[in-house]
Structure 1
Amino acid sequence: MKLYKYPSPDLWSGICARPLQDNRKFIPGVMEILSAVQKKGDAALRDFSKKFDGVEPDSLAVTEAEIKEAAKRISPQLKAALKQAKKNIEAFHRSQKEASKKIAPMSGISCWRESRPIEKVGLYIPGGSAPLFSTVLMLGLPARLAGCKEVVLCTPCNKDQEVHPAVLYAASLCGIQKIFKAGGAQAIAAMAYGTESIPAVFKIFGPGNQYVTMAKQLVQNKVAIDMPAGPSEVLVIADDTANPRFVAADLLAQAEHGPDSQVVCITTRAGFVKKIEAAIAAQLKTLPRKDIAAKALEHSRIVVVKSLKEAVELSNFYAPEHLILACKTGTGLLKSITAAGSVFIGNHSPESAGDYASGTNHTLPTNGYAAAYSGVSLDSFYKKITFQQLTAKGLKNIAATVTTMAEGEGLQGHSNAVKIRLSNQ
């Protein structure tokens, strides 16, 4: 990890730079995939599965028998863990439901807003070396709580045409029945445009590699997506109350996601640096994914600052996906945090808890997007519709305001829509 001691604010941009990614090079290849799926449907999905994953599924749809068989292959311990995580995630997201409130800005005028579920949503769950069955819960449960009528899940299968059993079991816990063996950019294309087997949806959720990310960006002229995304990241703020071993463990937990992940530690204690580095070195040796984590550490940073106030300012500038506060956390400190996907407070709040089971959602904005975007929530699966109702008296009360503004913009038809009603009163 690269060390910066007491850097001036003019150096923050360089410190906060993410690993350079030129995603433009993926555009031609992803465009080709999108076009092929649009034209050839299921046949294109099978061709790409054979080309990229070395398997050509006999059927894209996962059967009920496969889901039942998957449940038998899950250990009782993992089943219990998934059920506990489900309970917590449901509780947190259910608490986000809001009652509709009517207001009367003027006599005779009522305005209110109501939530309506997005009818068709698509969930993408990566496979590969770390199948993210936890993401099934994070996306599938709020989709169900919101009342989405159709939930489509796409995930790649292995060379034996099997989907990871934990992914299928988690999907069954969420009541998801439309599951398809499709991965990569081609799965995003299928959910955006529809094929013979896979229904088109209105919004697509879920993480993925650079091809998946680019595909999501390119299909936005057809469907909505959850948020822009980049490699995962964590920022830890540590003062003299922090435990160096805990901090090292949190940094490594994020670094093992991938070689392009980024971890940052900001500390007010210069003597803390060597302790963190020693703890990282000791713990790294024990990780099965140590080679991946080591590559991520190559472009990660430790920054020494003068105060917690400056540490929070630098963190807000970085806008991390995950922010861990291994420091004194008074109310003032928490209120000063303005840009973070999810915040973990105190020495006993590892980011892993939020990744799996505390209840908050782990689908979060990365790459600095936390400055403007929120993580996935119950609201992500709703669209908000506004309503207004005017009585004859209410229209009369607001008529002069509306007609004056409409005519000021040169839109006489708008003005007439009011005047013609007044003339009938």
Structure 2
Amino acid sequence: MQVLRTWECNIDKEIKKLKQRLSVLDGFSNQRDAVLKIIRDIQKRGDKAIVSYSKRFDKASLLPAEFQVKDEEIAEAYKKISLPFVRSIQRAITNIWTYQEHIRIRNISPLKTHGVVLDTVYSPLESVGVYVPGGAASYPSTVLMNTIPARVAGVGKIIMTTPPAKDGTIPPERLVAAKESGVNEIYKIGGAQAIAALAFGTETVPKVDKIVGPGNIFVTLAKREIFGYAGIDMLAGPSEVVIVADDRANPSFVASDLLSQAEHTPGIAILVTFSELLTEQVLVELKLQITNLKRRTDTKRCLDKFGIILLTKNIDECIDIANTLAPEHLQIMTQNPRNVLSHIKHAGAIFLGSYTPVALGDYIAGPSHVLPTGSTARFSSGLSVNDFLKRSSVITYSKSALKDACDDIVEISKAEGLDAHTRSIQIRLNKEKSKSLK
């Protein structure tokens, strides 16, 4: 890992470089044309285009009739996984459901004043598409973290798309997680073509109202392009963690968390501390612990490329850097983590204390692990049940209440030159008689 001392470098310049690394779409403008071509092709040719792209990108030869996962495939998946895995998935679902139900927005009492009744009604989306990436890992946790909040909201139909293997199969862990989570339909489609299919619909894949879930840069670019035809959760970039630690932090814990982030390949791992001793100890621990990892070669490569330790003058400077980076995951391993927390302004998810690793949030704690990346935590939040609810305002005025509001509405609508707006008020109060048709 690179070590930078804030008093020996232009820290503002280095932070700017870090933020560029964290950027969701920086440096990927060349891929936009390719993504647009895929989207337009899906719009034009539907299932035929999906067949072509599945063969091209996933090396899977699937006919439209084979896109959707069949019940027999799900039943077979259960035979391939262990009972402890199913129980762990079920416990995770319980925790996620409990937390999401706890934070769900409730309908509030109407606001009533002198003939005016103002209501707010929250209603669930009718349909949602959940994208679950493929790759080296199976990602059953991603299924849970996107699906359970939607179910708690009361979404009527949940469609999942996920890339198939070359033989057209889906990892059994992913299928079991989908079944346990209550996914209605699963389709063996990945990449930008999956996002386009969910946004516009094809002969086989139904159109949905909103698309959620992380993916590679092509998936992310596709989500950006289809926004407006369907809603999206966010534009997610590489996973990232910032660890703020003092001289009391356990170096083996800190190193393990940096490695768990680098294991994402790419995963951006940043330690911010004022302790020279901790820095030295963490570097030693990293060398020791990485030798025991199954994916040690890729993890080391990722840590060398995206890992950094920022040595600061004091804890205040640590906090300033954390707020500037506005990370997806922020770990606070200090003597009094809640005191540091009180100064934190921006983070997707915050993990307090030595015994709260990011892995808890990834798998089982309850909040969704779908979080804002690339400093977007400055203005956005992680996925939750409330992202699957729509808010409608309901307005009721009595005649007397309309009369009280009349003069103000007329003044404003006249200033805007909108005569019909003025008339729509006056005609109800007999201030301008309607002309009957003869």
TM bucket normalised to smaller: over 0.9
Tell me if structure 2 keeps the 8 A contact 1:102–1:111.
no
Flag the 1:381–1:131 CA change in 2: closer, same or farther, 3 A: same
What is the CA-CA distance between 1:413 and the residue it aligns to?
2.2
* Alpha-carbon distance in 2 for matches of 1:326, 1:413: 62
The Cα offsets for residues 109-166 of structure 1, whole Å up to 9 and x where unpaired, read as: 1212211111111011111201211111111111111111121100111122211111
Tell me if structure 1 keeps the 8 A contact 2:249–2:278.
no
Q: Secondary structure at the match of 2:265?
A: coil
Report whether the alignment pairs 1:207 with 2:210: no
Flag the 1:335–1:423 CA change in 2: closer, same or farther, 3 A: farther
The Cα offsets for residues 247-285 of structure 1, whole Å up to 9 and x where unpaired, read as: 1111111111013x2111111212211111111111111
Q: Secondary structure at the match of 2:29?
A: helix
Matched with 2:435 is none
Letter in 1 for 2:58: D
The Cα offsets for residues 355-392 of structure 1, whole Å up to 9 and x where unpaired, read as: 00011100011111111111100011111111111122
Report whether the alignment pairs 1:56 with 2:61: yes
Matched with 2:241 is 234
* Alpha-carbon distance in 1 for matches of 2:106, 2:184: 30
TM-score, normalization by structure 2: 0.92
Matched with 1:44 is 49
What is the CA-CA distance between 1:330 and the residue it aligns to?
5.5
Letter in 2 for 1:288: K
TM-score, normalization by structure 1: 0.95
Which residue among 24, 28, 37 is the counterpart of 2:29?
Answer: 24
What is the CA-CA distance between 1:331 and the residue it aligns to?
4.6
Q: Secondary structure at the match of 1:198?
A: coil
Tell me if structure 2 keeps the 8 A contact 1:102–1:110.
no
Matched with 2:173 is 166
Flag the 1:307–1:43 CA change in 2: closer, same or farther, 3 A: same
Matched with 2:270 is 264
Report whether the alignment pairs 1:274 with 2:280: yes
What is the CA-CA distance between 1:424 and the residue it aligns to?
7.2
Matched with 1:92 is 99
What is the CA-CA distance between 1:105 and the residue it aligns to?
6.7
Q: Secondary structure at the match of 1:271?
A: helix
Which residue among 10, 14, 17 is the counterpart of 2:12?
Answer: 10
* Alpha-carbon distance in 2 for matches of 1:329, 1:104: 42
Matched with 2:436 is none
| Corresponding residue pairs, total | 424
* Alpha-carbon distance in 1 for matches of 2:210, 2:269: 30
Q: Secondary structure at the match of 1:35?
A: helix
Q: Secondary structure at the match of 2:111?
A: coil
* Alpha-carbon distance in 1 for matches of 2:158, 2:284: 47
Report whether the alignment pairs 1:384 with 2:384: no
Q: Secondary structure at the match of 2:236?
A: coil
* Alpha-carbon distance in 1 for matches of 2:340, 2:416: 47
What is the CA-CA distance between 1:345 and the residue it aligns to?
0.5
Tell me if structure 2 keeps the 8 A contact 1:125–1:206.
yes
Letter in 2 for 1:400: D
User: Counterparts in 2 of 1:80-229, with a 5 A limit?
Assistant: 80-104=87-111, 106-229=113-236
Tell me if structure 2 keeps the 8 A contact 1:119–1:149.
yes
Q: Secondary structure at the match of 1:23?
A: coil
State percent identity of aligned pairs: 35
- Which deviates the most, 26-35 or 95-104? 95-104
Q: Secondary structure at the match of 1:301?
A: strand
- Which deviates the most, 236-245 or 414-423? 414-423
Letter in 2 for 1:292: D
Report whether the alignment pairs 1:417 with 2:419: no
Q: Secondary structure at the match of 1:145?
A: helix
* Alpha-carbon distance in 2 for matches of 1:132, 1:342: 19
What is the CA-CA distance between 1:332 and the residue it aligns to?
4.5
Letter in 2 for 1:18: R
* Alpha-carbon distance in 2 for matches of 1:99, 1:19: 35
Q: Secondary structure at the match of 1:78?
A: helix
Task: Give the root-mean-square deviation of aligned CA atoms.
Answer: 1.8
Flag the 1:329–1:398 CA change in 2: closer, same or farther, 3 A: farther
Report whether the alignment pairs 1:351 with 2:358: yes
Moved >4 Å (runs of 4+): none
Letter in 1 for 2:297: D
Tell me if structure 2 keeps the 8 A contact 1:323–1:340.
yes
The Cα offsets for residues 297-317 of structure 1, whole Å up to 9 and x where unpaired, read as: 223211122332321221111
The Cα offsets for residues 160-188 of structure 1, whole Å up to 9 and x where unpaired, read as: 22111111111111221311111111111
